[in-house]
Amino acid sequence: MATFRADRRNEEVKKTISEVIREMKDPRISPMTALTEVEVTKDLKFAKVKVSVYDEDEKKRISSVEALNHAAGFISHQLGARMRIRAVPSIKFTLDNTIAYSIRIAEILNGLIKTDASEAWPEEGQLHQKEEEE
């Protein structure tokens, strides 16, 4: 029962922080920023937020997370005002590369599928050459 309540609280904090970040007008924060996971301690003093930034440039991803950490005070203030919770957690943002990693794996698998398909099904010209050889 306690884990269900903690999961529900984590998801609610995640949803509220996402709304605050979307409303922010900081140009350092990439528009392709998504929160992947939020872990709030039992005493509500700390929140660890994993952020995924889908951008090709590593510097932009890091600068987005740094900008979020710089605005952590503002974000936690907004979190307290919107959720009306007794203790507002101190927020720490960390970069999460799982989405970029899974996209890279999918690209590799798609490349393998395409090469296997081209080897399995020969081109028309190759098909006629094989028939003539036999």
Q: Any idea where the domains of the chain sit in the sequence? A: 2-96, 98-134
Mean pLDDT of 24-43: 92
Topology (CATH level 3) of domain 2-96: GMP Synthetase; Chain A, domain 3 (3.30.300)
Distance CA 23, CA 33 (A): 12
User: Distance from first CA to last CA of the chain, Å, rounded?
Assistant: 71
User: Beta strand pairing status for 90-95 and 46-53?
Assistant: parallel
Concatenating the DSSP letter of every residue in 62-122 gives HHHHHHHHHTHHHHHHHHHHHH--SSPPEEEEEE--HHHHHHHHHHHHHHHHHHHHHHHS-
pLDDT at 21 (0 to 100): 95
For the cut 50, the answer to whether the pLDDT of residue 1 exceeds it is no
The total number of residues shown for the chain amounts to 134
Average pLDDT of the chain to the nearest whole number:
85
pTM, rounded to two decimals: 0.73
